[in-house]
Amino acid sequence: MIFSGVLRGAGDTRFIMWCIGTSSVFCMLLPLYIGIELFDRGLYYAWFCVLLFVAVLFIMASFRYRQGKWQHMLVVERET
C-alpha cells in the first residue's frame, strides 16, 4: 500500500486506477464468483482471493515504483 501511495502522491494515479480495476476483476471478483457459485468454496477461499488481490496490487505497484517513471511526473505545473 505504501508503493501505491507514493505513486498516487507523485501523480501516477491513472496507473493505480487501472491496477485496481483489472486486479479486482481478475483476482477477486471472477475467482470469487466462480469458486463460490460453481465449486461451492467457503470462507477460506474468499479470504485467499482477497489476499491474492492485495498481493497482485503490491507486485504491480512495486514494479512501477522501481521503473522510476513517477519521478518525472509533475503534480503542479511550473510557472512560465
- pLDDT at position 6, please? 77
pTM (two decimals): 0.78
d(CA 10, CA 61): 13
Number of structural domains (the chain) is 1
Q: Which domain holds residue 51?
A: 2-70
Contact predicate 12/69, CB 8 Å: yes
User: How many Cβ atoms are within 10 Å of 59's Cβ, its own excluded?
Assistant: 13
Radius of gyration of the chain (CA): 16
33 belongs to a structural domain: yes
The model's confidence at residue 23, banded by pLDDT at 50, 70 and 90, is very high
d(CA 80, CA 45): 55
